[in-house]
Structure 1
Amino acid sequence: MTTFDVLTIGNAIVDIIARCDDAFLSSNGIIKSAMNLIDAERAELLYSRMGPAVEASGGSAGNTAAGVASLGGRAAYFGKVSNDQLGAIFDHDIKAQGVHFATRPLDGVPPTARSMIFVTPDGERSMNTYLGACVELGPEDVEPDVVAAAKVTYFEGYLWDPPRAKDAIRDAARIAHANGREVAMTLSDSFCVHRYREEFLDLMRSGTVDIVFANRSELLALYETEDFEAALGRIAGDCRLAAVTMSEDGSIVVRGADRVPVDAIPVARVVDTTGAGDLYAAGFLFGYTSGRSLADCGRLGSLAAGIVIEQIGPRPMQSLKDAARAAGLL
């Protein structure tokens, strides 16, 4: 009997979120709308310059796991924290969402990862991430029985930054495929794609990854082109299934020659785009592991993404299951 619908693997991060203007980004050398990796010293500096902030457990794949659970799915998560205050916050939050999380924590060094996220008035978020304990995620943290019991194992492209995580991902993919399961990844960020373009393409072309999530800019970066239609054609040949988000233009699901367009849901006000792609993946994978059509998978993704961008923080504050029922999707 399948125990989990979706297992996600990622950098376990506590988000520290504050509002700012574009001038603040410029004066502090922060690249807008990107995930910037920083060291401990810069993390302390940026924290000292932040205005009032909200702490919320985050990390791309952790957000996706929380979204799957909020929809009523069975979710599990692998990610490394430390035995410190932020680690306790992360552990509490993900378990409170109903997600299986049993990765052994470190004994305080390095500390739990944190990301200083600056949200500008247009809702765009600029992330400045100190990976801390995340870099210690390795093959020993893979729970083979959990991987074997998950319909889809999903990991974030950001994991290609901490080196030992690559071995963990490859081990998990091997176990998943040996048990007739599928493997999915998100490209995470166009800057991440530029760093690891050839490795990401190899993951797809080798069959290590079956399903790919990307936004428009990540897809164009992957194929080093400005021709969106050409990029869609190329990813159709490189992986079995892809879902590409396009902000207010919705998304498009690609499987072979098939193209399934999906509308974005109307949003009254964009408050914070943090977690939009993560929650789209949550909705899509919940639908996919429930045997729904690709169109319905995309609609569930759009719903979850639309809800999370109307709030501060990357994890849903309301029941996505209730919202999906109200929208006629469940």
Structure 2
Amino acid sequence: MRILVSGSLAYDRIMSFPGSFAEHILPDKIHILNVCFLVDGLEEKFGGTAGNIAYCLKLLGEEPTIVAAAGKDFAAYEAWLRHCGLSLQGIRRIGSEFTAGAYITTDRSDNQITGFNPGAMKYGAQYPVADCDPADTIAIAAPGNLDDMQEYPRICKAKGIPVIVDPGQNITALSGEQLTEMLTGADYLVSNDYELQLIENTTKLTLAEIVGRAKTVITTLGENGSTIRQGAREDNIAPCPVADVQDPTGAGDAFRAGFIKGLCLGKSPVDAAKIGSVSAAYAVEKHGTQEHHFTWDAFRARYAATFGELA
């Protein structure tokens, strides 16, 4: 099956501050804040929603197409994607911009200060879907370029291509009308429980109304698993046990990859979410969003230990 993964490609640049931010911020001077944190070092990780989802789909044996824009500093990320065997045909190059980048400083209490440069993400990917066969294609519109997030669901719904709408961290950048259009008629709406509340607040729709507009609503609940809502039906999916939580960042993208894998296998949304749970468990056991590894046989064994044999 052809899988289109629309979203972002980004460098995550992570810095560790050995002290506490609170010790260096004077409450009575917050209006003229001017601080400098001397960090222990910097780690650069490959990230972005499209990159993370595609990476995990590749581990699951699929051949996704990344639909995103990258900048003039993309060489290292490109080499990594080639190493992973991922296609580059859907990536648009913007020579005048840097690839999107998150600059994250974390103190000893796990408080974070983040700066995000969208860079090339300001440009649409311009990937054509005219030649895609609706019977053999599935797409996900994950957080990335705002125009792509709206345009690709619109095109997919018009062509009859199953589409997963995933507004995520860009919910606050979209209007209620835009979000309502995106989720109306979508085959799947996926978010975590906090994001779902933001969608309700922004669109002024009730949960029942959202479920009535999207065919399937998937809500991830972190360590509590996920919930699948279809019409009046609601199914709760248990989480896959995790040996050692290292970093929850990227778990949502890994869940989405597993869910898509389940759909490619012809599974119901409920069973697809179980595959998503196992996929997310691997992600949280490693620092970074593209650091985990597994074989399909190992994945099936872990699935079986939690949910029974994967047919």
Would you say the 8 A contact 2:258–2:275 is kept in 1?
A: yes
Give the residue type in structure 1 aligned to 2:188.
Answer: I
Matched residue SS, 2:92: coil
* 1:276 pairs with 2:251: yes
- List gaps (5 residues or longer) in structure 1: 30-44, 161-165
* 1:115 pairs with 2:102: yes
Matched residue SS, 1:224: helix
Instruction: After superposing the two structures, state which structure 1 stretch, 295-304 or 274-283, moved more.
Output: 295-304
Would you say the 8 A contact 2:165–2:190 is kept in 1?
A: yes
Q: Which of 50, 75, 79 matches 2:64?
A: 75
Quick one: distance in 2 between partners of 1:28 and 1:149?
56
* 1:194 pairs with 2:172: yes
Can you list the C-alpha shifts for 1:265-285, whole angstroms capped at 9, x where unaligned? 222322111111111111011
Give the residue type in structure 2 aligned to 1:210.
Answer: D
Would you say the 8 A contact 2:123–2:145 is kept in 1?
A: no
1:295/1:127 CA distance change after superposition, 3 Å: farther
Matched residue SS, 2:246: coil
- List gaps (5 residues or longer) in structure 2: 27-34, 305-309
* TM norm structure 1: 0.77
Name the residue aligned to 1:224. 201
Matched residue SS, 1:79: strand
* TM norm structure 2: 0.82
Q: Which of 12, 15, 34 matches 2:12?
A: 15
Quick one: distance in 2 between partners of 1:202 and 1:178?
13
Name the residue aligned to 1:104. 92
Q: Which of 74, 77, 86 matches 1:90?
A: 77
Displacement, 1:151?
2.0
Give the residue type in structure 2 aligned to 1:194.
Answer: T
Q: Which of 23, 37, 52 matches 1:63?
A: 52
Would you say the 8 A contact 1:116–1:128 is kept in 2?
A: yes
Name the residue aligned to 2:29. none
Would you say the 8 A contact 1:213–1:243 is kept in 2?
A: yes
Quick one: distance in 1 between partners of 2:131 and 2:249?
32
Would you say the 8 A contact 1:153–1:184 is kept in 2?
A: yes
Instruction: After superposing the two structures, state which structure 1 stretch, 320-329 or 309-318, moved more.
Output: 320-329
Give the residue type in structure 1 aligned to 2:141.
Answer: F
Would you say the 8 A contact 1:240–1:255 is kept in 2?
A: yes
Matched residue SS, 2:270: helix
Quick one: distance in 2 between partners of 1:247 and 1:290?
24
Greater relative contact order (Cα 8 A, min sep 6): structure 1 or 2?
1
1:51/1:220 CA distance change after superposition, 3 Å: same
Identity %: 25
Name the residue aligned to 1:304. 279
Q: Which of 215, 218, 230 matches 2:192?
A: 215
Where in structure 2 are the equivalents of 1:99-178 lying within 5 Å?
A: 99-102=86-89, 103-107=91-95, 109-118=96-105, 127-138=114-125, 140-142=126-128, 144-145=130-131, 151-160=137-146, 166=147, 168-178=148-158
Would you say the 8 A contact 2:54–2:257 is kept in 1?
A: yes
Displacement, 1:316?
4.4
Instruction: After superposing the two structures, state which structure 1 stretch, 169-178 or 314-323, moved more.
Output: 169-178
Give the residue type in structure 2 aligned to 1:196.
Answer: L
Would you say the 8 A contact 1:274–1:313 is kept in 2?
A: yes
Matched residue SS, 1:291: coil
* 1:234 pairs with 2:206: no
Matched residue SS, 2:183: helix
* 1:54 pairs with 2:32: no
How many residue pairs end up in the alignment?
Answer: 293
Can you list the C-alpha shifts for 1:78-127, whole angstroms capped at 9, x where unaligned? 1111233xx012212223333222223122x2112211234566878764
Decide which structure has the larger Cα Rg and report it.
Answer: 2
Matched residue SS, 1:273: coil
After superposition, the CA RMSD in angstroms is 3.1
Instruction: After superposing the two structures, state which structure 1 stretch, 170-179 or 55-64, moved more.
Output: 170-179
Give the residue type in structure 2 aligned to 1:61.
Answer: A
Give the residue type in structure 2 aligned to 1:281.
Answer: R
Displacement, 1:296?
2.0
Instruction: After superposing the two structures, state which structure 1 stretch, 180-189 or 112-121, moved more.
Output: 112-121
Quick one: distance in 1 between partners of 2:295 and 2:113?
26
1:260/1:292 CA distance change after superposition, 3 Å: same
Give the residue type in structure 2 aligned to 1:255.
Answer: Q
Give the residue type in structure 2 aligned to 1:297.
Answer: A
Displacement, 1:158?
4.0
Quick one: distance in 2 between partners of 1:121 and 1:271?
15
Instruction: After superposing the two structures, state which structure 1 stretch, 320-329 or 119-128, moved more.
Output: 119-128
